[in-house]
Amino acid sequence: MRVFIAIVFFLTFTQTSQAQWLTRSRVQNQQNFDKKPIRFGYYLGFNNYDYNFDYIAQQEDIEVTRSIGFNVGIVANLRLSDYIDLRTEPGLSFTRRDLLYAPDPRFDSEQDLIREVPGTYIYLPLLLKFNTKRLNNVRPFVTVGVSTTVNLSSNEKNPDDNFAGQFRTTTSPFFYEVGFGVELYLYFFKFTPSIRGVFATTDELVRDNMGNSPWTGNISKMSSRGVFLNFTFQ
């Protein structure tokens, strides 16, 4: 809901801006760029991942310590109309999260209260991009879509579990995505800053071999959610 409100606010703001400096006549850069049926580019950016937990029985929430990760990838854009594009942005995302558990008599030491969850994701999205009318050298847009990832750090097939110090997650979760950005038409290329929310739809937790595990036994679902801030060059 917060993302939806942000997108509505963003579109309202851009429409209001048409009556201001954006609508004054200026020299347009890259006038025929968007008429190409297929366009390519690359992006660099940052990510911030979190986990959302659902529990079987009420308990003190597992705290997630997040860190800023890094994104890199390529862009392939198919023009469907003047205002709609089909886009994919395969790439790599690197991140890390630490899970902090509340004290439990089943834990043998303080080290058992912390589990490190690294992530090295091969990121595979499919997006619809809805563009507004170009305003001189600026064009806002919103994106919606789905994606999957291949987590090279998941340890899903590792026989060791948390009793051996290994927290395991699934290799290929699925996500839905919403975001917005602004295309800036510069003299030699198009530069696009964008922000996107990603939300997992599947349970990513691989449970420990023992059913009453203090780490996984009371979790009914664990799913990622995150924010991407990307800078695209085309």
- What are 80-135's pLDDT values in tens digits? 999 999 999 999 999 999 999 999 898 988 899 999 999 999 999 999 999 999 99
Q: How does strand 91-100 pair with strand 84-88? A: unpaired
Predicted local confidence at residue 31, as pLDDT: 83
Q: Position of tokens 């879509």?
A: 145
In three-state secondary structure terms, 37 is coil
Q: How confident is the model at residue 179 (pLDDT cuts 50, 70, 90)?
A: very high
Q: How confident is the model at residue 65 (pLDDT cuts 50, 70, 90)?
A: very high
Residue 192 zone, left/alpha/beta (φ > 0; ψ -120 to 50; rest) = beta
DSSP calls for 113-152 = GEEEEEEEEEEEEEEEEEE---BTTEEEEEEEEEEEEEET
What's the pTM?
0.83
Say yes or no: domain 36-233 is CATH 2.40.160.20.
yes
Predicted local confidence at residue 5, as pLDDT: 46
